[in-house]
Chain A
Amino acid sequence: MANMCTEVADPESLAELVRQSLTDSVPLVDYGRVHEGVGHPPPSVHTRFCQTIAAGGDGIIEHYTRDLTVRVSAGATVRQVNEALRPTHQFLPLDADEDLSIGEVLMHDVYGPLRAGYGSGRDLLLGLRYIDGLGRDIHVGGRTVKNVAGYDVGRLMVGSLGELGIVYEVTLRTYAVPEEVRVVTVALTDPDTLSRNITNLLLTDASPTGLSLHGDASGWRAIFRYCNTHGGCVVQQADLERRLTELAGDTARVESVQTLTPEADETARTAERAWRRQADLLVKVVTPPALTGSVAALLREGGWRIDALPVHGCIFVGGEGNAADALRLDRTINETIDTHGPLGGRGFRVWYNRLADADLIAPFAPPQSDYALLCRIKSAMDPHNIFNPGRYLRG
């Protein structure tokens, strides 16, 4: 579907596209490059579009180098922006696949292991511009690192699945590129011990910049990342080894230690999650962080592959399968997050990759208590229901 979209490279064209959509009463659809499977499918009649950047551009509108902030086109990819920032030794720690646009990352609240150290896009966001459902150009926030003038519509937009407006420009914090990235891979026999002790670990020098947990047929691995000076990495690695012995005993064993450049680490992180794009079935399950390991282990029993972020209680579970497998996986997850299950109602799940015929599976569960209010907000910002209608919210 991606190659059938109308490419839009500038705000004026985008505003025109919205005006046309309002005139024709044909909704605009942009589910992103890798989030096609998130939410209800679009209506049969729609205009599919995607944002890109002008030919020859690098996606950066303005880089306030000394302020460590950057204004970028939402259509620019993470890779484009980071390549453009590299000569200044700064980067955007948006831990997402490099070919995703900045807009897609924010609209789907994509984050990865580095959220532990740098926060997510929500934390980096300073301001944005978007076209609203009346075709108007709206500008909220700004380029200062603190700003409470007006409603924080920018953060409201994060995770909004493109249903409230079309963001075309974003101002974000940047960070200095770390001197070194040290990647410590630890083989685990018991992921539960790690996640139950996550607070204890965060209170030490071994607190990682990034942490992910991976489970597949070969077993469980935790990948700790330290972005620091060389000296800092040495101290943190040594402390990790000591803490692992204290906290996890013989259930954890350091398997390898790599020292990478930040660019090489970016590639490594993308490779670690590459399987998710190929998976027939993929679900994000969110739990209280301390339960990440036990829930991941429970889901792994079904033979599924796991990527998890124990600091934030996020689990991706999936693999190859058919519609019956999807139903089976969905049942297991629902029983887990149910009020009578191990999570006691403290969790949710979102399907990322379902099979086309898996109509019996609701994309989101359980129902969220702010849903009715969110629908009212949608109606206020997109009164004609033209942006990704019905993906999550009733227009």
Chain B
Amino acid sequence: MSLAHPVINELRAIVGADGVLADRDELLVYECDGFPIARGLPTVVVFPTTTQQVVDCVLAAKRHDLPIIPRGSGTGLAGGAVAYGSGVMIVTTRMTKIESIDIANRVAVVQAGVRNLALTEALAGTGLRFSPDPSSQRAATIGGNVATNAGGINTLKHGVTTNHILGLEFVLPDGQVVRTRDHGLYDGIGPDVRGLMCGSEGTLGIVTRIWCRLAPAPKHFRTIYAVFSSLEGACKTVSDTTATGIVPTSMEIIDGSMIRVVEEAFHFGFPTDAEALLLIEIDGIDQVLDDQLQRIVAICHENGATTVKQCADETRRAELWSARKKTFGAIGRIARSYCTQDACVPRSMLPTVMREIKEIGKRFGLSIHNVFHAGDGNVHPIMLFDEDDPEDVQNTLRCSQAILEYCISVGGTITGEHGVGVEKLHLMPKMFSSDTLDAFNRIKEAFDPERRLNDGKLIPSNRVVIELFKPTAANVPGGAL
């Protein structure tokens, strides 16, 4: 019946027939994001190309009292861009204009659908870059980066998305266009709405235009990888390095099982009998990097590194980081589905936390692979499961919950960079008091009093109840209403 919904023709009138998807087969592509456990079909998917078209689409949804689900390229890993069985999904991937690049003031103005990597490519040769670099940067949009406050492997030293956004334009669910801290200035008057919008997962407004802060791209690097016979040794190296005050660009760990998966897929030459690989990069002034590197190498050896190798040239360095970014792709070769967790813990706790995650996995009979932003304390345990087996799905979800609850208990958080989406919604009351959750809800209502915009994501809503743990509804968030 949804195919005949009158909003569809209105949307076609706004963006043209080729900017609207309404056939069930076409909609299937949009039934989930990178968290395949949560699925639901929207009524219609629409691809605006301008802010005004977004406004018109929002008003059309409002006229028909339909929910709105904003979406970028759908690389999110928490179900933040999944419909609850109906609604207008507004996809920004055709808003791809890089409107200006102002080198003198280090600002790029882009539409929300510009891919992270497209901006990087556009900046080639300028010496500047947009620093956030999530593993999904080839596909992920900058609007999506804003919505999830995306991180990446460079964020340890250079910060996450919120540190690189100067201003935003977004559309409220009543069709108003708000611009905050536009004009590319490095300061503003009053409360920092841009900060609030970053990581708000499309629940407050649909980001349409972004003033990106461009930063000098580092020119000099030292990159090493250290091989460990224990994951704990690698984790302790991270903790010890942090404690010295050195701030590397990146410290990434790939655990033993993941090394073997990556090797089988890409034949990079990592030792398959290792239990952990620690990739460390530092950047800065060429003449002082060697001293820093020697200190880090010494810490690696103190913690039992069996081999420490430095990338001899830029090609090898590029290969190393490419291997790191391809790790998730390699997982796809060995399992139909996987679920990646995203807890963040104090860095000094990493050795203990990784040990406990392994134990939790054993308890649930799951083999957990790990590849993570160790320097940030941002762990990404990966659980493999069969999405067609409801029991397996439930077991995976329960294992995830146990891991996240443990991370909360040691002073960590349920999500470092992927967001809450629908996946971690049930854990929000464990992270926050009821007063704090109510404070979040009051903020939501200041933006979206009718709770039309991505309701039931990020903060629990009394209008939308998600029961991922209810077997019959496990794959359909809307089915548990």
Which A residues, 211 to 269, have Cβ-Cβ distances below 8 Å to chain B?
A: 228-229, 231-232, 235-236
Residue pair B344, A144 in contact (C-beta under 8 Å)? yes
Instruction: Decide if B74 is an interface residue (CB 8 Å cutoff).
Output: no
Of B288, B376, B443, which is within 8 A of A153 by CB? B443
Chain B, Cβ-Cβ closest to A346: B183
Instruction: Decide if B160 is an interface residue (CB 8 Å cutoff).
Output: yes
Taking residues whose C-beta sits less than 8 angstroms from the other chain, chain B's interface range is: 35 or more
A232→B155 CA distance, assembly (Å): 23
Residue pair B446, A231 in contact (C-beta under 8 Å)? no
Residue pair A207, B216 in contact (C-beta under 8 Å)? yes
Contacts of B148 in A (CB 8 A): 148
CB 8 Å contact bits of B158-187 with A (1 = contact, 0 = none): 011011000000001000001111111111
A288→B172 CA distance, assembly (Å): 28
Instruction: Known contacts A150-B420, A346-B183; decide if A373 and B447 are in contact (CB<8 Å).
Output: yes
Residue pair B244, A176 in contact (C-beta under 8 Å)? yes
Of B107, B159, B193, which is within 8 A of A156 by CB? B193
Residue pair B185, A159 in contact (C-beta under 8 Å)? no
Instruction: Decide if B418 is an interface residue (CB 8 Å cutoff).
Output: yes
A296→B378 CA distance, assembly (Å): 44
Residue pair B288, A231 in contact (C-beta under 8 Å)? yes
Chain B, Cβ-Cβ closest to A161: B190
Instruction: Known contacts A145-B344, A393-B190; decide if A66 and B185 are in contact (CB<8 Å).
Output: no
Residue pair B199, A152 in contact (C-beta under 8 Å)? yes
Instruction: Decide if A8 is an interface residue (CB 8 Å cutoff).
Output: no
Of B104, B172, B242, which is within 8 A of A67 by CB? B242
Residue pair A147, B446 in contact (C-beta under 8 Å)? no
Instruction: Decide if B134 is an interface residue (CB 8 Å cutoff).
Output: no
Residue pair B443, A137 in contact (C-beta under 8 Å)? no
Contacts of B242 in A (CB 8 A): 66-68
Of A144, A149, A350, A392, which is within 8 A of B377 by CB? A144
Residue pair A89, B285 in contact (C-beta under 8 Å)? no
Residue pair B439, A374 in contact (C-beta under 8 Å)? no
Instruction: Decide if A329 is an interface residue (CB 8 Å cutoff).
Output: no
Output the least CB separation between A383 and chain B (Å).
Answer: 8
Residue pair B285, A232 in contact (C-beta under 8 Å)? yes
Residue pair A235, B196 in contact (C-beta under 8 Å)? no
Contacts of A364 in B (CB 8 A): 189
Residue pair B185, A148 in contact (C-beta under 8 Å)? no
Instruction: Decide if B149 is an interface residue (CB 8 Å cutoff).
Output: yes
Instruction: Decide if B68 is an interface residue (CB 8 Å cutoff).
Output: no
Output the least CB separation between A205 and chain B (Å).
Answer: 5
20 examples of A-B residue contacts, CB within 8 angstroms: A65-B243, A66-B239, A67-B347, A67-B377, A146-B373, A149-B420, A152-B198, A153-B440, A161-B190, A175-B245, A199-B105, A202-B216, A207-B216, A287-B185, A288-B105, A348-B185, A368-B180, A373-B178, A373-B180, A377-B191
